[in-house]
C-alpha cells in the first residue's frame, strides 16, 4: 500500500489526471524517499524532459528518456540496465533496444564510452535536452 507523506501535495496529485507524466514522477518521488540516498536524481532534468514538447518521439521513447533523466547526475549522465527498462516500461527487449537507438539517432542520448560501476555491459549515456535538433537553444 502506498502512503503519501506530504499531504499538501495530495490535491495536486489527485488533479493530475491530465498530466500523467507529472503524476508518475510525483508518485515515484513521494513513495520512494530511499531513492534520494541510493541514486543521483536530477529533478530539474526530469522536469525539463516531462515538459519537452516534441512530436518526433513515441511514448516509449519519451518514457525511457524520462527514466534516464530521473537517474541522471549533475553532469546529465545516466545509466539503467536494459532489464530494469523492460520492467519499468512493460515492453519487450526489442522495443526498448529500438527506443534507445532512436534516442541516440535523434541526439537525445550519446555514449560516454564508459560503463556503469561494476558492469561491462551497461553504458553510461549523456542526455541532451537542449540540442538544437531537439528544439533547444
Domains of the chain: 1-38 (no CATH), 39-134 (1.10.10.10)
Q: Under 8 Å CB-to-CB from 75, ≥6 apart: which residues? A: 126
First to last CA, the chain: 43
Q: Considering only 8-12, 24-28, 107-111, which range has the smallest mean pLDDT? A: 8-12
Q: 8 pLDDT band (50/70/90 cuts)?
A: very low
pLDDT tens, residue by residue, 36-82: 444 456 777 878 887 777 778 999 999 999 999 988 888 899 999 99
Residue 32 vs residues 37, 39, 64, 73, 100: alpha-carbon distances, Å: 10, 11, 19, 18, 25
C-alpha grid cell, residue 60 = 516509449
Amino acid at each position: 500500500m502506498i502512503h503519501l507523506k506530504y499531504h499538501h501535495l495530495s490535491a495536486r496529485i489527485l488533479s493530475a489526471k491530465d498530466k500523467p507524466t507529472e503524476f508518475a514522477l510525483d508518485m515515484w518521488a513521494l513513495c520512494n524517499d530511499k531513492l534520494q540516498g541510493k541514486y543521483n536524481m536530477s529533478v530539474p532534468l526530469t522536469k525539463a524532459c516531462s515538459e519537452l514538447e516534441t512530436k518526433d518521439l513515441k511514448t516509449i521513447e519519451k518514457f525511457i528518456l524520462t527514466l534516464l533523466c530521473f537517474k541522471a547526475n549533475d553532469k546529465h549522465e545516466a545509466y539503467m540496465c536494459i532489464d530494469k527498462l523492460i520492467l519499468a516500461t512493460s515492453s519487450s527487449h526489442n522495443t526498448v533496444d529500438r527506443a534507445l537507438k532512436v534516442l541516440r539517432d535523434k541526439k537525445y542520448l550519446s555514449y560516454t564510452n564508459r560503463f556503469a560501476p561494476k558492469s561491462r555491459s551497461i553504458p553510461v549515456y549523456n542526455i541532451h535536452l537542449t540540442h538544437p535538433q531537439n528544439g533547444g537553444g
